[in-house]
Structure 1
Amino acid sequence: MSTPRARSARRGAVLVLVSATGFGMSAVFAKQAYAAGFNVPTMLSGRFVLAAVLLWAVVAWRRAPLPRGRALAVCVGLGALGYALQAGLYFGALAQIDASLTALLLYAYPALVTVLAIALRRERPDRRRLAALGCSAVGMLLMLGAGGVGGSAATGGVLLALGAAVAYALYLTVSAGLPAGLDIFAVTAVVCTSAAVSMVVAGLATGSLHAPGQASGWLWIGLLAVVSTVVPIAGMFVGVRDVGASAAAILSCAEPAVTVATTALVYGERLTPVQAAGGLAVLASVAVLQLRRRSAATAAVAVSCDVPSPTAGDEHVRETPRPPRRRGGAARWGLRSLRPGGVGSRPVGSGRPVRVDRPVTRGGAHPGAEVDRGPRHRRGAGG
């Protein structure tokens, strides 16, 4: 008979794969919206507005606390600048080159994040990371050096896709500095709202917002917002808690595979054998980056906009040592200090801060780790 932990792990793996599938199908929805007469600014404005409305409904239902002060300012900046820029570059590339190549080029971001982490001295250039960087570099050379990437339009699309990878790497690096304890749905709602405002203002300023030529285009915008934004966020949120961040990040590599498969089925797009080999090398670098040195380690995951975080699982569990017990009073006689009701009724000293996983989602920022701070009388002012 399967244990509850095994059932939970299976459920988490399924939810992560469902999330990756939803994200991977965004390319098909976007290309269908383009065919219906949407341009990139109008499509992204509609996507962000609808996704923000749905996310705020989830926040209201969960009664989640909102970020404040500096954290709120960082979330607004991540949405208005980082999220909007990354999505604009990515979906702009989709309008010029094949979606399969765009998705694989975007996966250069884990290597870029690792380079930034080493440059900022957050990580050490050990053999595992150097091997992943080399694997990613070889994969990129194979994809860009293969046939079918020539021409001015294709070159522009490649540059946009690589620019999206750079923008996303910077986004993750900044979002990793957000404080712990932020609710992921609240952060995601703030980021999506900021991105929506940014895209609408930019569209109005440039006169690029317009109604689509076909009313069916709004159906594809709705699918892009629901199937490729809100549902994957929720699925990844639960899935990472069940399987752990490292396993979730590796399972999320199914996303570009879904993009390649769906665009090949719908549009007949095909990668050359050399491009396919390069794409596999890039995805292998992601798996290498997620391999854990210690089997007991768990992870804190950066919340993302469009692709899973490469730093998922890079942090170890950190526990503060239990304070020494005083041999006197109730402790001396083996009695427990209790408080009536709530968390205060647990034994004194029963809670220790423990890092737990956070989901890889799109449209948010790094919420940090949740902390079980123990009995209320040990939490200090404000609880």
Structure 2
Amino acid sequence: MTASAPTAPTDARDKLAGVLLIAVSASAFGAMAIFARFAYAAGADVYGLLLVRFMLAAAALAWVMRTRGIALPPWRRVLALAAMGGIGYVGQSFCFFSALNHAQASLVALLLYLYPLFVTILAAIFLKERLTTAAVVALVLCSVGAGLTVGGGAGSPLGIALGLAAAVIYSVYIIVGARLTAGVNPIATTTVICTAAALVYGAVGMLRAGAGAPPPQFPADAGGWLALAGIALLSTVLAILTFFAGLQRLGAAQASMLSTLEPVVTVVLAALLLGEQIGAAQALGGGLILAGVLWLTRRGSAPAPARADMQGN
């Protein structure tokens, strides 16, 4: 009894550290849309923003792999992960960051957070997983919430469509990626995916230039470049590392619930820094979406968050 007594404060400290780490991760991810809006205001376009983001993130994560002695998976798995990043992640990130040009950051963030619901639906259709009562309740909550959020938020039909497309593509990406990433170190997974995405965006930039389209646009001032660095180093690298550090201390269920802080951070920062107005309908809709996601998580019907190892936006 006396030997086990000192472990209680240690466990409590570990849990508190885990909560703080997941909160930092969710806040960093939540700030991504805000950084993007500042980068766009400084002259960047979606092609330049994503090219720089993935180049910086891939380089930083490769350095982390080297310092921690993390090895790449077998080359066949590397190629599969690269295909996942070069197709799924590129498509999802393009839709998400393009949506920010046509809709409020808060609206886009809340629409993206429909992805656990879409994962559940797709798993029921294609993987023949049973729809539980919890999943049906969450479906109703999220559907009503999405309707209120879209109706109460400022965004063009294109922006709303792109935001929903980002959530759907991410859902497919999770289902496919769950098998491809099994048994692979998540930091190695993310490094390969970011590298593949950087190569694809670089190739797209060259193809567009060859076709006479404008080349990727980059920020025209230091503030815009700082925003780009924030997206790559804070909202990608730091967010990933703190997520996994917190996950080790809390487990998937608690980490998943705490990760719902992310869209809340986006909504609050968008109101404070971008002057976005949050109407009653949008606030209620966002609350219903988060309630649906939390309900799925608590009832064990949703996947553990894949954002950190397969990058949500």
Whether 1:83 and 2:89 are equivalent positions in the alignment is yes
Q: In 2, are the aligned partners of 1:240 and 1:360 still within 8 Å (CA)? A: no
Q: In 1, are the aligned partners of 2:36 and 2:97 still within 8 Å (CA)? A: yes
CA RMSD of aligned residues (A): 1.9
Count of residues in Structure 1 that have an aligned counterpart in Structure 2: 301
- 2:147 alignment partner AA: L
Which structure 2 residues correspond to residues 12-23 of structure 1 after superposition, within 5 A? Answer: 12-23=18-29
Q: Which runs of 5+ in 1 are unaligned?
A: 294-298, 300-309, 314-358, 366-383
In the alignment, which residue of structure 1 is the partner of 2:173? Answer: 171
Q: In 1, are the aligned partners of 2:49 and 2:218 still within 8 Å (CA)? A: no
Which structure 2 residues correspond to residues 202-351 of structure 1 after superposition, within 5 A? Answer: 202-207=204-209, 208-292=215-299, 310-312=302-304
In the alignment, which residue of structure 1 is the partner of 2:158? Answer: 156
Higher relative contact order (CA 8 A, sep 6+): 2
Whether 1:44 and 2:50 are equivalent positions in the alignment is yes
- 1:258 alignment partner AA: V
Partner Cα distance (1:362, 1:69) in 2: 18
Corresponding residue SS for 2:278: coil
Partner Cα distance (1:137, 1:364) in 2: 24
Structure number with the higher helix fraction is 2
Displaced runs of 4+ in structure 1, greater than 6 A?
none
Q: In 2, are the aligned partners of 1:96 and 1:156 still within 8 Å (CA)? A: yes
Deviation at 1:222, TM superposition (A): 0.9
Corresponding residue SS for 1:176: helix
Q: In 1, are the aligned partners of 2:25 and 2:240 still within 8 Å (CA)? A: yes
- 1:46 alignment partner AA: V
Partner Cα distance (2:258, 2:248) in 1: 14
Partner Cα distance (1:251, 1:90) in 2: 22
Whether 1:361 and 2:308 are equivalent positions in the alignment is yes
The percent identity for this pair of structures is 39
Residue 115 and residue 363 in structure 1: after superposition, are their counterparts in 2 closer, same or farther (change >3 A)? Answer: closer
Deviation at 1:181, TM superposition (A): 2.5
Residue 90 and residue 360 in structure 1: after superposition, are their counterparts in 2 closer, same or farther (change >3 A)? Answer: closer
Q: Deviations over 1:221-257 (max 9, x none)?
A: 1111111000010000110111111111111111111
Corresponding residue SS for 2:180: coil
Corresponding residue SS for 2:62: helix
In the alignment, which residue of structure 2 is the partner of 1:180? Answer: 182
Partner Cα distance (1:87, 1:262) in 2: 20
- 1:164 alignment partner AA: A
Q: In 2, are the aligned partners of 1:232 and 1:361 still within 8 Å (CA)? A: yes
Calculate the TM-score normalised by the size of structure 1.
0.75
Q: In 1, are the aligned partners of 2:187 and 2:309 still within 8 Å (CA)? A: no
Q: In 1, are the aligned partners of 2:47 and 2:217 still within 8 Å (CA)? A: no
Q: In 2, are the aligned partners of 1:187 and 1:364 still within 8 Å (CA)? A: no
